[in-house]
Amino acid sequence: MGRGQGKEVSVDYIDLPQVLSARGTVRLPGSKSISNRLLLLAALASGETELHDLLASDDTARMIEALRSLGVGIEPLAEDAFRVNGVGGSFPVRQADLFLGNAGTAFRSLTAVLALAGGDYRLSGVPRMHERPIGDLVDGLRQLGAGIRYLDGEGFPPLRISSPGPCAAAVVRLRADVSSQFLTGLLMALPLRGVETTVEVVGELISRPYVELTLASMARFGVQVIRDGWRRFTVAAGSAYRSPGIVHVEGDASSASYFLALGAISGGPVRVEGVSLDSLQGDVRFADALAVMGATITSGDNWIEATAGSGRLQGITLDCNHIPDAAMTLATVALFAEGPTSVRNIASWRVKETDRLAAMASELRKLGATVEEGDDHIRVLPPASIRGLRPAAIDTYDDHRMAMCFSLAALGTPLRINEPKVVSKTFPDYFERFGAVTRAVPVVAIDGTSASGKGTVASRVADALGWHYLDSGALYRLTALAARRAAVDWHDEAGVAAIAATLDVAFAGRVISLAGEDVGDAIRSEEISAGASLVAALPAVRAALLFRQRAFRRPPGLVADGRDMGSVVFPDSMTKVFLTASVEVRAERRHKQLIEKGIAASIAALSLDLRERDERDSQRSVAPMQHSADAELLDTTNLTIASAVAQVLDWVKKVSERG
């Protein structure tokens, strides 16, 4: 994961190279939904519970923190295992101020539990949490005598909770068409009342599989909810949670969706371990959706595997009410399908970590899709060919699933994902796992000194391999030329960086144009060469050109020449070469080129100029030219171009053979 280069740039992002193929096995992190349910139930139960394979993430950390503030003993046994000392239904701490971040599972269920447990509590979260509705749950709890006040807006957190008044109500009417977490929270809290209580669901109940998870989790702790379909749920008098001893958390089915999608789109096979098609987690049904689109899905006891089917995936229309999270993955898989995909009945997207309908629509459009955003559905029409996907910088809206589902677009284009650390909400090492099962478009990086012949060598290597070629120096030269034409001083860092960011360039074969004009010769003048070296030393300019350079990395491969190809722009290059020659030989070569073009020049002046440029390129503070230890040194002082090319191709071949 990269921080922007240079002091001026504070944006956090990760650049994903285009992915050629994906295969392998991923051990899934524990399910967020199950982890947070089991933590709360273990805390409420009598007895000690060992929770294994628990998810380590922001959302579970918020729950653990809150429970500890309430006086629950929670001791780590390993990175993903904890011992919870149950409090037997009443928390030792009766007064607390709990901050729950943006963890909906923790906020909703703790609201219900604390409202019925008694005590004086304040519950708050991040600003977005305060925009996520909770009124239907509060209305339900108030029917049971709960004392809950809104501290800010009516119907939204933060909340003040005080001990419930006496209340004999035996039936609660609850709306759960905005979030199933309201029913989940209420059901988990009901055993604290001690008397028989029935919840009657008013209107539609959304995301039903999550309620199944709740019932199953409660059953593991000894409380059987009596149910009548999806309408009535009754918790009997005298129900109380008892620790089952040791409990294992299943892998997260929503997290599985990204890897299954990788296998289905790219060929695969990609296998996820820790979950099976029999799981109660609704999001395992995402695998069925992939199968309908044409992927091949196989599964076993504790794994699911996805492979591409015989043809391209086909767009589908699907009611995703039961799988709102995996539905986001479906919307990005749509980029690779033939024809449109409609994801329907997902109004709840509007009140999640962000307004996911608006966010998905705007980011999918950046990549070149045509998107229809409805009140409760989204329709995605991808470009006619996968090659039509455009490199883009994707915003993540403080939403972990935006970052994860858009990573799939890397199967069709290089892309940048802003603020990628949002994944820590549920999957802190997501991008490392993604990297481990994907193979990126390969790069050969050829760095070296000015006029060392690296451009000629690199472009011939590209031709021999049938790969793309990036002359990164040309981008600095174009920036210098464009700045000169716009009368922006080469020392004006912000001014030149703005020009670099919006450079209107086209590389067609070996023809380079700026705003439609062929500038192949103009950028090679001695004056622009000096200007390029100056602007290249400005950190903001380098940052502005970074993603533009990475976007050249297209299948089947890229040969890139410059100063920092192997060190900064493509640090994962398969082969890195540092190419140089003595100053005298370089000056002679440059002299010959200029004479051929009819330009007069003196070898002595050229030598001096080259020495100065070497000095500046290697002494600057950011991305200095250097022969790093992982690069092969190629000194061409006494080599012909053909033998230099042959040497590079030989190195490339050796790496390919290794593997």
Would you tell me which residues interact with ligand DC (CB under 6 A)?
450, 472-473, 476-477, 532-533, 536, 562-565, 613, 617
Minimum gap (Å) between residue 561 Cβ and ligand DC: 7
Helix 32-44 vs helix 181-189: crossing angle, to nearest 10: 20
Other C-beta atoms closer than 10 Å to the C-beta of 31 total 29
Which single residue is written with the structure tokens 């966010």?
359
Minimum gap (Å) between residue 472 Cβ and ligand DC: 4
Using CA atoms, how far residue 368 sits from 382, 387, 397, 410, 502, in Å, is 7, 10, 20, 13, 19
Other C-beta atoms closer than 10 Å to the C-beta of 344 total 16
Structural tokens at position 32? 């967020």
- In the complex with ligand DC, the residue whose CB is nearer, 39 or 535, is 535
Minimum gap (Å) between residue 5 Cβ and ligand DC: 12
- In the complex with ligand DC, the residue whose CB is nearer, 185 or 473, is 473
Minimum gap (Å) between residue 533 Cβ and ligand DC: 3
DSSP letters spanning 521-561: TGGGSHHHHHHHHHHTT-HHHHHHHHHHHHTT--TT-EEEE
Minimum gap (Å) between residue 398 Cβ and ligand DC: 34
For 544-567, b/e burial (b = at least 16 CB within 10 A) is bbbbbbbbbbbeebbbbbbbbbbb
- In the complex with ligand DC, the residue whose CB is nearer, 477 or 591, is 477
CB neighbour list of residue 37: distance below 8 Å, 6 or more residues apart = 105, 109, 184, 188, 213, 214, 217
Minimum gap (Å) between residue 343 Cβ and ligand DC: 42
Minimum gap (Å) between residue 512 Cβ and ligand DC: 11
- In the complex with ligand DC, the residue whose CB is nearer, 43 or 497, is 497
Whether the CB-CB separation of 95 and 26 falls below 8 Å is answered with no
Q: Which amino acid is at 505?
A: V
Q: Is 325 a catalytic residue?
A: yes
Using CA atoms, how far residue 353 sits from 177, 219, 579, in Å, is 17, 29, 49
Q: How far apart are CA 532 and CA 530, in angstroms?
A: 5
Whether the CB-CB separation of 289 and 248 falls below 8 Å is answered with no
- In the complex with ligand DC, the residue whose CB is nearer, 420 or 562, is 562
Q: How far apart are CA 128 and CA 131, in angstroms?
A: 5
Other C-beta atoms closer than 10 Å to the C-beta of 637 total 12
Burial class (CB in 10 A: 0-12, 13-18, 19+), 166: exposed
CB neighbour list of residue 278: distance below 8 Å, 6 or more residues apart = none
Q: Note the Cα 174 to chain centre separation in Å.
A: 35
Using CA atoms, how far residue 375 sits from 136, 205, 319, in Å, is 21, 18, 14
Minimum gap (Å) between residue 562 Cβ and ligand DC: 2
Q: Do the bridges between strand 575-580 and strand 632-635 make them parallel or antiparallel, or are there none, so unpaired?
A: parallel
Q: Note the Cα 397 to chain centre separation in Å.
A: 11
Tell me the β-bridge partners of 470. Answer: 560
- In the complex with ligand DC, the residue whose CB is nearer, 207 or 472, is 472
Structural tokens at position 487? 């009368």
- In the complex with ligand DC, the residue whose CB is nearer, 179 or 472, is 472
Q: How far apart are CA 200 and CA 173, in angstroms?
A: 5
Tell me the β-bridge partners of 78. Answer: 81
Minimum gap (Å) between residue 538 Cβ and ligand DC: 10
- In the complex with ligand DC, the residue whose CB is nearer, 59 or 617, is 617
- In the complex with ligand DC, the residue whose CB is nearer, 403 or 536, is 536
Dihedral sign (CA 283, 288, 290, 292) = negative
- In the complex with ligand DC, the residue whose CB is nearer, 433 or 590, is 590
Minimum gap (Å) between residue 479 Cβ and ligand DC: 9
How far apart are the two ends of the chain, measured CA to CA in Å?
Answer: 24
Nearest to 230 by CA among 207, 253, 205: 205
Which entry of 15, 59, 136, 325 is annotated as an active-site residue? 325
Minimum gap (Å) between residue 124 Cβ and ligand DC: 48
Q: Supply φ then ψ for residue 258, to 5 degrees.
A: -65, -40
- In the complex with ligand DC, the residue whose CB is nearer, 147 or 571, is 571
Whether the CB-CB separation of 540 and 478 falls below 8 Å is answered with no
Dihedral sign (CA 284, 288, 294, 296) = positive
Half-sphere exposure of 54 (CA within 13 A, CB side): 32
Catalytic positions, please? 325
